[in-house]
Structure 1
Amino acid sequence: MKKLFKFILNTIPRPLLIRLSYVIRPLLAIALKGNRYTDPIDGKSFRMFLPYGYGTQRNNVLSPSTLSLERHRLLWLYLKNETDFFTAPKKVLHFAPEQAFYQLFRQQKNLDYTTTDLLSPLADVKADICNLPFEDNTYDVILCNHVLEHITDDTKAMQELYRVLKPGGLGIFQIPQDLNRATTFSDDSITDQKERAKIFGQYDHVRVYGRDYFDKLRSIGFEVNEVDYTKTLSADLVDKNCLASGEIIPVCTKK
């Protein structure tokens, strides 16, 4: 199964994968039903989760029902337990909307919810993150997760995120991050896709972010809270929900 999923991820274009998943997902949920692991997003339990990864695959991380990964489930728990995202009126901008969240967020009566991306079939607005077609100070919440590592000019992208966020607004900008690195690494001379997947985690990533990521966000103007949310949860819950212990959520606010 691990080799099959790796082949699928590296062969089928992502927009087509998204469409196909709507057919395959219910079948996977039935086949893997059990009680060992639980997806907190929909509350469904399974005997195992699926493997995932373009370079090195991780086992037991992809929920069969919502197709959520560790980062999605962690973010869900943080938004649900630590914010008023699901209760207060919010104007929300969501980049590259994840299937794990898309329908649930759209159904929230308190959210004025807009999705954006260049390629995703789930995007309401086709837009370049470095040149957004939105007015200054528009959104209460911006979700932009696992996007910036794909963007060549991430400084410009961060500036655009800052521009369209309201003063006092909340931005969550998760990225794949190597906390063992002090500084972010990139190397455009590496062109082989397999080598890039090995070094950067995915063939279309342009960098590996280090611990300096948070300071780069601060240099744009954001106030950044580096939230290690798994530290606030029990070890049993971290295991039950298949979370990545120690993953940092960058919680950003605009002064």
Structure 2
Amino acid sequence: MSSLLKFSIKQKHREYRKKRKEKIFKGNIVHCTICHSEYREFGAFGHIKRKNAQCHNCGSLERHRLVWKYIQDKELINRPLKLLHFAPEKVFYDIFSESSQIDYFPCDLHPNIYDYKGKTSVSKADITQIPFEDDYFDFILCNHVLEHIPDDALAMSELFRVMKPNGMGIFQVPIDYDRGKTYEDFSITSEKGRLKAFGRRDHVRWYGQDYKERLANAGFEVTEDDYISSFTKEEQFKYGFDSTEKVYLCHKRPSEK
């Protein structure tokens, strides 16, 4: 069977599943902040299934809808800019790659895993050795990436290096707010061990309340924004937000001379 035929069959299966879900969850109780689809409820998602999590149309999760709502409400990308995007989620890739005012740089250590059909290709980049010059990007989006990186301090310093003075970025990670300090144990190397310790087979730490401090140590001015609290419980359900998630907005201020 040719690869083109396999792709066509997979595409038809995806479209069938999508239409079936849209029929089952038909309604107007929840609203996706990205694609603006409405349903009676979002789908369950995750290793431990989270209710009201995944949009049946665009596939966005809680963190995607929250970040996009935040970007829109705060008008963070309403001007021409260079945007670096690590591990580019398709829901954002589709928006950024089509924007006439965004010079878009999606990248990943393993770009071959992305089969996006947009006009912008995903480039190879190691977040601990970013292949761009200093002070290059106006905005950086790094959403649930740092928890995979053993040397996250080096990754944060690289993000700081390539960000322009007066630039900004949103760097989201899973955080256990019951932990004062980030928990990491690099003697745990098996997938089973990491799943038990960090909640995912490919995670190397659980961030704690000190995440803001870790970003600040890299040089960023960090706003730990409890943006979610500006929404009622009903609105949080409507948009499918995680009520515990905060937004980490990082700025690079010009150095004083």
**Shorter-chain TM-score range:** 0.7 to 0.9
Unaligned runs of 5+ in 2: 1-9
Q: Residue 207 of structure 1 aligns with which residue?
A: 205
Which of 112, 131, 149 pairs up with 2:103? Answer: 112
Q: Residue 43 of structure 1 aligns with which residue?
A: 36
Q: Residue 235 of structure 2 aligns with which residue?
A: 237
Unaligned runs of 5+ in 1: 1-19
**Is residue 2:52 matched to residue 1:60?**
yes
Instruction: Tell me if structure 2 keeps the 8 A contact 1:231–1:246.
Output: no
Instruction: Tell me if structure 2 keeps the 8 A contact 1:223–1:254.
Output: yes
- Residue 180 of structure 1 and its aligned partner are, at CA, apart by 1.1
**Is residue 2:80 matched to residue 1:89?**
yes
Which amino acid letter does the alignment assign opposite residue 201 of structure 2?
A: Y
Aligned pair in 2 of structure 1 residues 59, 236: CA closer, same or farther (>3 Å)? Answer: closer
Q: Residue 133 of structure 1 aligns with which residue?
A: 131
**Is residue 2:18 matched to residue 1:28?**
yes
TM-score by length of 1: 0.86
Instruction: Tell me if structure 1 keeps the 8 A contact 2:52–2:237.
Output: no
Q: What is the total number of aligned residue pairs between the two structures? A: 234
TM-score by length of 2: 0.85
- Residue 58 of structure 1 and its aligned partner are, at CA, apart by 1.4
- Residue 21 of structure 1 and its aligned partner are, at CA, apart by 7.8
2:220 and 2:186 map into 1 onto residues whose CA distance is 28
- Partner of 1:169, secondary structure, is strand
Farther-moved stretch of structure 1 (243-252 vs 41-50): 41-50
Q: Residue 3 of structure 1 aligns with which residue?
A: none
1:252 and 1:84 map into 2 onto residues whose CA distance is 12
- Residue 161 of structure 1 and its aligned partner are, at CA, apart by 0.2
Cα RMSD, aligned residues only:
1.9
Q: Residue 224 of structure 1 aligns with which residue?
A: 222
Q: Residue 163 of structure 2 aligns with which residue?
A: 165
Instruction: Tell me if structure 1 keeps the 8 A contact 2:143–2:171.
Output: yes
Which amino acid letter does the alignment assign opposite residue 144 of structure 2?
A: H
Which amino acid letter does the alignment assign opposite residue 62 of structure 1?
A: Q
2:250 and 2:36 map into 1 onto residues whose CA distance is 28
The percentage of aligned residue pairs carrying the same residue is 43
Which amino acid letter does the alignment assign opposite residue 61 of structure 1?
A: A
- Partner of 1:65, secondary structure, is coil
2:38 and 2:186 map into 1 onto residues whose CA distance is 42
- Partner of 1:136, secondary structure, is coil
Which amino acid letter does the alignment assign opposite residue 60 of structure 1?
A: N
- Partner of 1:144, secondary structure, is strand
Q: Residue 148 of structure 1 aligns with which residue?
A: 146
Q: Deviations over 1:119-171 (max 9, x none)?
A: 24255210111111101000000001100000011111111100000001011
Instruction: Tell me if structure 1 keeps the 8 A contact 2:186–2:204.
Output: yes
Which amino acid letter does the alignment assign opposite residue 90 of structure 2?
A: Q
2:144 and 2:245 map into 1 onto residues whose CA distance is 13
1:118 and 1:23 map into 2 onto residues whose CA distance is 29
